[in-house]
Chains A and B, each alone.
Chain A
Amino acid sequence: MAAILRPEDATKSRAVFRRTIHELWSDATGRTGIIVLMIVTLAAVVGPMLLPFDPSKVGSVAADIFARPSHAHLLGTDELGRDILREFLAAAGVSLIVGLSATVISIGVGAIIGLVAGYFGRWVDALLMRFTDFFLVLPTIPLVIVLAAIFGQNLEVTILVIGLTGWPPIARIVRSQVLTLRERQFVVRVEAMGGSHLRLMGLHILPNVAPLIFANAVLVIAGSILAEATLAFLGLGDPVHVSWGTMLHFAFATGAVGRGVWWYFLPPGLGIVIVVLGFTLAGHSLDRILNPRLQERR
């Protein structure tokens, strides 16, 4: 982010975007992350079309339960005799959607709080950062568990709960970046010319913190997907919309581990690891490219 962006610089921001993508692709870590994520997204979108999952299609004889992988069921069957490969593909979408939606909430809340705190400074800043630090220090997983236990088990609650606990680090990062931008000459000048607060924040400051927000968003997605998996595993997920975490919950609850039914608990876990790893690799690479603090050190 060597160049400061002004609202009239639409072409420049496109150039920055293109350069970022290019740098991300030339970085081995970033490229691995992108490729992994493209494969997973493809599997989550196209997979259920080719191999739709019907939760009511349960086995009819005892041999259908926990059946080993075979030609009929490439990844075997679950405790109700349903095809695990189809279930796995359907669950991929749920895990991804929860992770992405929760991140949108975290990023939105974090960006607004960080922007307002850094822009207005003084008591607004002090108050908002006190608030942020309080939520920053609360242990996330216990908080998520307590909130889900109180507000019930469905997809919306899961998304809200994870989203509303993940914003404090974003607020901190955005604030510190806004603080330095606030003192830049172009911002001071627009202010002197009578630009409104909203205009300054939205048109002049936000575009310059956006890359940093984006880099962190990718890392937040990884954390959100892990949080969803944990919640679902503990039985606090949506029982209707099965995610990888829900599959692991049922695999554990029905004793798949003790009975050696590895084809039930390996695929969903591997799915989580691969997706989280993909986002983490891409995120670290993006952070290296877009974080001004790290850039100066190179």
Chain B
Amino acid sequence: MRLAVLGRKLAWLAGTLAAVVTFNFLLFRVLPGDPVTLYARSGHLTPQAAAQLRSLFGLDKPLVEQFWIYVRGLVHGDLGFSQAYHRPVADIIAERLVNTLLLVGLATLLVVGIGVAMGVVSASRRGSKVDSATVFGSLVFWSMPTFWVGMLLIFAFGTWVKILPTRGISTVGATFSSSFASTLDVMKHLILPTITLALVDIGQFVLITRSSLVDVLTEDFVTTAKAKGMSRRRVVWRHGMRNAMLPVVTTSALYIGLVVGGAIQVETVFSWPGMGELTFDAVKLRDYAVLEACFLLFAVTVIVANFLSDLLYVWLDPRVREA
């Protein structure tokens, strides 16, 4: 890869990250109402007390200086102080992040793996019953609100046939004989949230893989490969998918943006103690410091994912790579 390309992408990353930090800072400074009365949870403050709080939180300083303090805090991993949990936001997020990564990571494996496979099957049997059923099914699942799919699964497997846990990450109050047993317990709790997330987001991958592969399979070199007597499987995978990968990679970046929204819904429905539930609780409790940090983290994740998919794109496409 040319160094200039990498430099340009890095400049984009730095610029976008700077913009999102500024956007996030300003967004939470336009809050209606005096933040001090919000912090104090009641309007009954003596002017002295209000002034004292204001200087404690640095709100008496000019906006530019506040911004500078905010940025310096971020660099040192200081994400503010939660008014609801009475703890530093960074500590809370550190506990929650792992759980979300577990959930989202597993769902992503399912979505990409099954989604691409189904797209390939659909495209290589274009026009068949299997193909139309796959396309229609993808559109139907895409049209479902994630939280509602979660509610349906809870009803089916938690209320109707009681075979799977529907709340939290582990059985409350249970003691396990071994670490294996407790891992198994977590795995059981993971099943329904993961399936919910995967079901809704899989359609996008199926459709993109399908349409991208359909395009490639109508190209002349594919006809040539077929005429040479190459097996269908080999034509589809070696010649087709190799060229159809690019749009799939671009979709992955879009998917990260989507899955963040999905995680908030799924974690809320299943009380999964991750970043999504934290966001939801922060909204309910009006814990702006937590909300601000969560949003920043989501945005940064999506931006970095876009950057990485951009790099992957350049690396995969020789036309762009050599340009």
Q: Which of B71-79, B118-126, B220-228, B298-306 contacts its partner?
A: B298-306
CB distance from B291 to the nearest CB of A (A): 6
Q: Which of B16, B28, B215 counts the most chain A CB atoms within 10 A?
A: B16
CB distance from A73 to the nearest CB of B (A): 20
B36 within 8 Å of A (CB atoms) = no
A145-B283, A260-B155, A272-B148 known; A233 and B265 CB under 8 Å? Answer: yes
Interface size on A, residues (CB 8 A): 43
Interchain CB contact (< 8 A) of B284 among A140, A235, A260: A235
- Chain B residues with CB below 8 A from A145, complex form: 264, 279, 283
CB distance from B26 to the nearest CB of A (A): 11
Q: Which of A43-51, A112-120, A274-282 contacts its partner?
A: A274-282
Complex: A257 Cα to B298 Cα, angstroms: 30
Whether B145 contacts A138 by the Cβ 8 Å rule is no
- Chain B residue nearest to A252 in the complex (CB): B151
Whether A149 contacts B154 by the Cβ 8 Å rule is no
A258-B158, A258-B159, A269-B152 known; A142 and B299 CB under 8 Å? Answer: yes
Q: Which of A12-20, A191-199, A222-230 contacts its partner?
A: A222-230
Whether A269 contacts B298 by the Cβ 8 Å rule is no
CB distance from B205 to the nearest CB of A (A): 16
- Chain B residues with CB below 8 A from A272, complex form: 143-145, 148
- Chain B residues with CB below 8 A from A229, complex form: 145, 148
CB distance from A35 to the nearest CB of B (A): 15
B139 within 8 Å of A (CB atoms) = yes
- Chain B residue nearest to A297 in the complex (CB): B215
A-B contact count (CB 8 A): 129
Complex: A151 Cα to B20 Cα, angstroms: 19
Complex: A272 Cα to B16 Cα, angstroms: 35
Whether B139 contacts A150 by the Cβ 8 Å rule is no
Interchain CB contact (< 8 A) of A260 among B159, B299, B306: B159
B97 within 8 Å of A (CB atoms) = no
Complex: A179 Cα to B154 Cα, angstroms: 50
- As a 0/1 sequence over residues 225 to 258 of chain B, the CB contacts with chain A under 8 angstroms (1 = contact) are 0000000000000000000000000000000010
- Chain B residues with CB below 8 A from A141, complex form: 260-262, 264-265
- Chain A residue nearest to B146 in the complex (CB): A230
Can you report 12 A-B residue pairs in the complex whose CB atoms are below 8 A from each other? A134-B19, A138-B20, A138-B257, A150-B27, A152-B32, A230-B265, A252-B151, A252-B269, A258-B154, A269-B145, A281-B139, A284-B139
**Interface, chain A (partner B; CB < 8 A):** 133-134, 137-143, 145-147, 149-152, 222, 226, 229-230, 233-236, 245, 248, 251-252, 257-260, 262, 265, 269, 272-273, 276-277, 280-281, 284, 297
**Interface, chain B (partner A; CB < 8 A):** 16, 19-20, 23, 27-28, 30-32, 139-140, 142-148, 151-152, 154-155, 158-160, 215, 257, 260-262, 264-265, 268-269, 279-280, 283-284, 286, 291, 294-295, 298-299, 302-303, 306
The 9 closest A-B pairs by CB, nearest first: A141-B261, A276-B143, A269-B148, A277-B143, A139-B257, A139-B260, A142-B298, A149-B283, A229-B145
